[in-house]
Amino acid sequence: MIADEDSARGFVSERCDETAMERLTFFIRELAEENERQNLVSRGTLHIPWQRHIADSAQLLDHVPRETGLWLDLGSGAGPPGLIIAIMRPHWPVMLVESRARRIDWLERIIVEIGLPGCTVAGKRLEHVESVPAGVISARAFAPLPRLLDLSARFSTGDTLWLLPKGRSAQQELDGLPKKRRGMFHVEPSRTDPEAGIIVGSLRGKGGKR
């Protein structure tokens, strides 16, 4: 379990290079400054950014053993997890979906300032984003699970991996799905919160096991 900032930073550094670590440090600094202008994240998390936002996002990479095509992140908001993935894997194509104007501006500014040519922002509601096949679909606090799946199923192929950090409601949300769909997913424990979970799976019905 990642219990503090030092262990969080170490966890992340094992999964990316020194340039990415420098960029993540820049992101953390900019996030704190921007949070004074708009409420991107809870103020209570700003003293533990590596644990709460960076390592919490980086742990998703442990479920993706290789590059899998477009990483589609829904409701990107402050950035995690999609923007963190883009910083750690700058050669991967990542699309951040965000409809709120000020957050779109924030995401686009950070992408330009860090220099992430493979990362783009779809600045509109998900319903208006053109269908594209995604290798990975992630979402953190985007929508209740049934609605999330219904809205984004058109981006999913037989090989799409879903990685959905759901906090402490993960198992409860999964249990609320119809039996057939419920069997397509399972809950993995979060490395940053002993009571939180990540819903992992595939609409092909193999529970996300690859």
**Is the alpha carbon torsion for 181, 64, 72, 12 positive or negative?**
positive
The domain locations on the chain are 5-201
List pLDDT tens digits, range 126-177.
999 999 999 999 999 899 999 999 999 999 998 999 999 998 999 999 999 9
16-22 long-range contacts (CB < 8 A, ≥24 apart) are 16/58, 16/87, 16/88, 16/89, 20/87, 20/88, 20/90
Amino acid letter for position 94: V
Please give the Cα distance from 119 to 8 (Å, whole number). Answer: 24
Domain 5-201 has CATH 3.20.20.70: no
Please give the Cα distance from 209 to 50 (Å, whole number). Answer: 28
Q: What is the pLDDT of residue 66?
A: 82
List pLDDT tens digits, range 50-93.
999 999 999 999 999 788 899 999 999 999 999 999 999 999 99
